[in-house]
Amino acid sequence: MPQPAFHGPLPAVGTVAPTLRYVNSERQEKTLADHKGEVVVLTAFPSVDTKVCATQTRTFNKQVADTGARVLSISMDLPFALSRFCAAEGIANVEAGSDFRHRDAAQVWGAAIAEGAMAGTLGRITWVIDRQGVIRYLEVAPELGAEPDYEAALNAAKGLL
């Protein structure tokens, strides 16, 4: 399945990352600004309840462990589902966030799928944001069912550390 059309233009490389509010798996209100001063690998995807999204979260969790970067994974999943998934899978190096309340990833970042069966969920997109909040890497998976290029994203992050 090709990557569908998105709600709006995605924040581009070289731009300051827009506002991103989310609810973490412990149901706490958080923002991307909470991670200022950190290198952040921000991933958006439809749901941890799909095979590729679950694999993506597990893989980033494993591969980011010793890098010093922060991985923040955002979806429309409710915090309860994110908490259940992270606990069951032993996810300790990825912060899971829900866009269900504020929809900043969907609307401000333009990452919502605009049409079809997955409309309203988030597309499979990866950004790397430097310590000053500037986007330094962007990847849109060529197909919704394709995994991101983990190596390229993590290399981009490591280059900023």
- Catalytically active residues, by annotation: 53
Dist. CA 26–CA 6, nearest whole Å:
28
Tokens of 99: 């866009």
> What residue has token string 């899971």?
96
Q: What is the DSSP string of 88-133?
A: HHT--SEEEEE-TTT-IIIIIS--BB-SSTTTTSB--EEEEE-TTS
- Which residues neighbour 31 within 8 Å (Cβ) at sequence distance 6 or greater? 19, 20, 21, 22
CA-based nearest residue to 82, from 30, 32, 38:
30
CA distance 48 to 25: 12
